[in-house]
Structure 1
Amino acid sequence: MAIKKWVIPALLATALAASLAPQAQAHATPKRVVGYYTQWSGYDRNFLVSDLVKNGTAAKLTHLNYAFSFLDEQGKCVSSDPWADYQRPFTAEQSVSGKADEPGQPLAGNLNQLKQLKAKYPKLRVNISLGGWTGSKYFSNAALTPASRAAHVKSCLDMWIRGDLPGLPPGAAKGVFDGIDLDWEWPASEGNAGNVVRPEDKRNFTQLLTEYRKQLLGLTLRTGRSYDLTAFLPAAPAQVDRGFEVPKVFALLTFATIQGYDYHGSWDALTNQQSSIRTPAGDPTSPAYSSQVAIDHYLSKGAPRAKVVMGVPFYSRGWTGVRNENNGLFQPNAGPAPATYEAGYEDYRVLKGQLDKFTVHRDPKAGHAWLFDGTTFWTWDDPVEMKRKGRYAAERGLGGAMIWSLDGDTADGELITALRSGLS
């Protein structure tokens, strides 16, 4: 007997609600703490998955997003770094389990370390994040047609959820990931130079989520497991309005993480905050950016508070050659401050070691801080500001906080400890 077309959406909605129910219950309390671990953390920074155990971070996370998988020109999922993802061998000292990888084992690399991390922390949800700033070029192609959406989703689920990685035995990475995190930067708006952008991206993003839910539901019916579907969404209201059907998007997502940083940086002519909770008094820029501006916009568009997860940074943005007025805030400058890995961008743990060179300034009302030594200015999210941000998310009834990125914290995890304290 044929099923009438109007029955299918009802069946999908019923099954979707059932698949999401365990997650909603599991994360009602405490708040979600979502952290991005980047595949390149193990290179120059030498921050390994095992360091998440050593500094106490893993025990404080509810979700870990592994960044990033890229998309090819046809929109299908590919590994952006096979060596880091599933080929690199780890020594006993480097591994989560304390055992060295053996030659010829089915799975190595970060994915095997994440598998060991999940064995140690069975309540931790680990999701694969797709895209990112440099990996979103072909998202528009993936979302363009019903056929391209179906092919994209199948390729990503085959690779990351079913665990069928190139050159490895079928299912070698099965069980590593519990869901998909979409980091398309940005639908219908320009992100990184060269990205494919189309006006119809807004509608197609919703359709892409629908296809993900359809295929994830099929997996749930076969495996009995629930799968996360999350997305990283922009802070700028103009980008939100241009690229997202907010109520439909949030209905399809387990939750969404909202950009809570990069409001300003060394691309700006004036020094400014990069992650303020509220817009600081005297901010000369327009439009004004802050976490409250972003979150209020999503809520006004119909996003449910419990699914809104506020982003926080474990890094700083900085300028040098800054005019020595107003403690360096809102001042002209000579450009990005010198830094360890990228000019104008520095990990918190690195700056903390240089704190004796700077004076700390705070704006408790706006909820931001900065460092200034008379010529160099760094935004400053320390434990005081992290606890303030966590408290803000809790008091507003939001779904939790998201961290970019976990490699910026100290060896004793002082930032995530402060953030959790504020969320509690």
Structure 2
Amino acid sequence: MAVWRLPFVLLSLLGSAIALQERVLESRAPGDGETPLIAAAWYTGWHSTDFPLSRVSWSKYTHITYAFGITTPSPELVALDASDERLLTEFVALARENVGLGSASNRTTFVNTILNVVRRYNLDGIDFDWEYPNMQGLGCNIVNPDDTSNFLSFLRELRQTDRGRDLVLSAAVYVTPFADASGSPSTDVSGFAEVLDYIAVMNYDVRINQSVGAGSRSPLDDSCAPAGAKWGSAVTSIEAWREAGVPLNKLVLGVPAHGHSYDVSPSVVLSRSNSSLLVEYPSFNPAARKRGDRWDGEGGTDVCGATDGPGGVYTYWGLIETGFLKQDGSVGDGIVKRYDECSETPFLYNPESRVYVSYEDARSYAAKGDFIYSTGIAGFAMWEAGGDYNDVLLDSIRHASLNGNPGARTRSSRESGGTQAVVPTRNTATSPSYRNNVPIVWGSLITLIYTCVFLTLR
């Protein structure tokens, strides 16, 4: 079984498939100057036994991204069978040898390679997943000061081709804008908004500070977090990309269908005055992290040669299967729950196993959906479709994103005196889409999209 962190190792081309529903979403159908909601999720081939394609709720999505395809050391070759465990291992091994695309010849060669794959498999688009240009991701990345500018040059060249003009081009990105030549977040990434149809900001697996304690890994708002624990939230990350030049109608909020667990002592996390209450930011023992649900990896040695233990990851269904939650989403027997109204994050704790989990539920997804609706961003993208249970999370965020649900958001950043929320821009002028300047009807396509992940474009 693949380790959860592998999809986020930014070292190679990740193949993906997008399936767009055959009917347009009704509630937020496009009006004057408005585009319909993007409702997206990733589908992982290596989980297809437990979650076959037949279980995907196709009619509720606009995009389903298949993970993953593979780059090779040559810009002339792309491998597609990444759902095979052997090829996933090969994908990691090849990542260290990933070819640079900074030279004009390599960029042109790789553009042609992608277009050949598009034609061969009748694809409608490309999705690029490169979180850390000119930054360390895994720890042994080769970085170049020109990574971001080279990436943009590559995208422009791809977009300028006859076939590229008609492609749906998107990107999945980190919570801060791409690094500039100095290594700091870029103040102007507007060029990417000009060539991409949308950008998915991955507000999940957000870092935590061990010295502060276990907190939310996908906070809607972190303005109430203690000093040293503010590593990015939906509010701050969307605003950061907007301030760097990406219009709100080009931004999609990445949301997780999984949570992260920690080994926490009952004496630390349970309130001394009431054992049915959990304290905020409990200290934890990183060396004692246990395996999460049956989709979680056992750990091992990564491509940098560093060893690590289990991921401690629980999907939403995994929390039900392991007894943290009941099938209706209520708390399992012997489990203690806390909901943080600032970050809009639920937490679970099992005193017997000492496992403390930061995760997402229907309430937190509704809060994120209301944020999407009220700010006017383009939609959401869930990692991953198979992590949900009977569409509990999907239905919650989709409904709130389409219709709004202000009651779901118990605290706003304005109320907390922290970072201000982005200004709603529903029904305002939008950035141009492509396909020969024809407006996108997201619900009318059946799409297979490729996700390209690069370590370096040097």
Quick check: TM above 0.5?
yes
**Aligned counterpart, 2:259:** 316
Among 338, 341, 348, the residue aligned to 1:371: 348
Q: CA deviation at 1:66?
A: 1.5
Among 139, 144, 163, the residue aligned to 1:219: 163
Q: CA deviation at 1:150?
A: 0.9
SS in 2 for 1:418: helix
- CA–CA distance in 1 between the matches of 2:256 and 2:373? 17
Query: Matched residue pairs, number?
Result: 330
Q: Taking structure 1 as reference, are residues 186 and 204 closer, same or farther at Cα in structure 2, changes over 3 Å only?
A: same
- Give the conservation status (yes or no) of the 8 Å contact 1:271–1:328: no
**Aligned counterpart, 2:147:** 201
Name the aligned partner's letter for residue 420 of structure 1.
Answer: R
**Aligned counterpart, 1:106:** none
Deviations 1:123-170 (A, max 9, x none): xxxxxxxxx99986566x4431111111112112212x112xxxxxxx
Among 103, 109, 114, the residue aligned to 1:156: 114
Q: CA deviation at 1:70?
A: 2.2
Q: Greater RCO between the two (CA within 8 Å, min separation 6)?
A: 2
Among 292, 315, 320, the residue aligned to 1:347: 315
Q: Taking structure 1 as reference, are residues 153 and 255 closer, same or farther at Cα in structure 2, changes over 3 Å only?
A: same
Identity of aligned residues (%): 22
- Give the conservation status (yes or no) of the 8 Å contact 2:42–2:385: yes
**Aligned counterpart, 1:271:** 214
Among 114, 124, 137, the residue aligned to 1:191: 137
1:228 and 2:206 are equivalent in the alignment: no
Q: CA deviation at 1:193?
A: 3.8
- Give the conservation status (yes or no) of the 8 Å contact 2:222–2:342: no
SS in 1 for 2:269: coil
- CA–CA distance in 2 between the matches of 1:84 and 1:381? 29
Deviates more, 1:68-77 or 1:198-207: 68-77
**Aligned counterpart, 2:383:** 404
**Aligned counterpart, 1:51:** 55
Name the aligned partner's letter for residue 277 of structure 1.
Answer: L
Deviations 1:275-334 (A, max 9, x none): 111005243425442111111111111110000001100000110134325625312212
SS in 1 for 2:163: helix
- CA–CA distance in 2 between the matches of 1:230 and 1:377? 35
SS in 2 for 1:309: strand
- Give the conservation status (yes or no) of the 8 Å contact 1:37–1:407: yes
- CA–CA distance in 2 between the matches of 1:289 and 1:144? 30
Q: Taking structure 1 as reference, are residues 312 and 376 closer, same or farther at Cα in structure 2, changes over 3 Å only?
A: same
Alignment of 1:13-162 (within 5 A): 28-43=34-49, 46-52=50-56, 57-79=57-79, 81=81, 84=84, 141-159=99-117, 161-162=118-119
Among 115, 125, 129, the residue aligned to 1:179: 125
Q: Taking structure 1 as reference, are residues 162 and 237 closer, same or farther at Cα in structure 2, changes over 3 Å only?
A: closer
SS in 2 for 1:370: strand
Q: CA deviation at 1:234?
A: 0.6
SS in 2 for 1:162: helix
Name the aligned partner's letter for residue 339 of structure 1.
Answer: G
1:256 and 2:199 are equivalent in the alignment: yes
- CA–CA distance in 2 between the matches of 1:133 and 1:421? 38
Name the aligned partner's letter for residue 64 of structure 2.
Answer: L
Deviations 1:203-241 (A, max 9, x none): 1011011112023xx1268xxxx3101001111358587
Name the aligned partner's letter for residue 63 of structure 1.
Answer: H
Q: CA deviation at 1:270?
A: 2.3
Q: Taking structure 1 as reference, are residues 419 and 198 closer, same or farther at Cα in structure 2, changes over 3 Å only?
A: same
- CA–CA distance in 1 between the matches of 2:102 and 2:133? 11
Q: CA deviation at 1:399?
A: 0.5
Deviates more, 1:249-258 or 1:233-242: 233-242
- CA–CA distance in 1 between the matches of 2:360 and 2:168? 29
- Give the conservation status (yes or no) of the 8 Å contact 1:136–1:185: no
Name the aligned partner's letter for residue 394 of structure 2.
Answer: I
- CA–CA distance in 2 between the matches of 1:242 and 1:66? 32
Q: Taking structure 1 as reference, are residues 133 and 51 closer, same or farther at Cα in structure 2, changes over 3 Å only?
A: farther
| Structure 1 unaligned regions, length at least 5 | 1-23, 88-131, 164-173
- Give the conservation status (yes or no) of the 8 Å contact 2:216–2:343: no
Name the aligned partner's letter for residue 318 of structure 1.
Answer: S
- CA–CA distance in 1 between the matches of 2:34 and 2:112? 31
TM-score (norm 2): 0.65
- CA–CA distance in 2 between the matches of 1:392 and 1:324? 30
Q: CA deviation at 1:381?
A: 0.5
| Structure 2 unaligned regions, length at least 5 | 1-28, 272-277, 298-309, 326-331, 403-458
- CA–CA distance in 2 between the matches of 1:266 and 1:39? 32
- CA–CA distance in 1 between the matches of 2:366 and 2:201? 18
Among 207, 216, 233, the residue aligned to 1:290: 233
- CA–CA distance in 2 between the matches of 1:317 and 1:268? 17
- Give the conservation status (yes or no) of the 8 Å contact 2:132–2:178: no
Q: CA deviation at 1:197?
A: 1.5
Q: CA deviation at 1:249?
A: 0.8
- Give the conservation status (yes or no) of the 8 Å contact 2:72–2:94: no
Deviations 1:12-37 (A, max 9, x none): xxxxxxxxxxxx96994531111111
- CA–CA distance in 1 between the matches of 2:93 and 2:205? 16
Q: CA deviation at 1:422?
A: 0.9
Q: Taking structure 1 as reference, are residues 423 and 270 closer, same or farther at Cα in structure 2, changes over 3 Å only?
A: same
- Give the conservation status (yes or no) of the 8 Å contact 2:131–2:178: no
**Aligned counterpart, 1:419:** 397
- Give the conservation status (yes or no) of the 8 Å contact 2:73–2:94: no
RMSD value over aligned CA atoms? Answer: 3.0
Deviations 1:331-364 (A, max 9, x none): 2212224312233111111103322142221122
SS in 1 for 2:133: coil
- Give the conservation status (yes or no) of the 8 Å contact 1:76–1:155: yes
- CA–CA distance in 2 between the matches of 1:291 and 1:81? 33
Among 349, 360, 370, the residue aligned to 2:337: 360
Q: CA deviation at 1:48?
A: 1.4
Name the aligned partner's letter for residue 396 of structure 2.
Answer: A
SS in 2 for 1:306: helix
- CA–CA distance in 2 between the matches of 1:333 and 1:233? 29
Deviates more, 1:344-353 or 1:414-423: 344-353
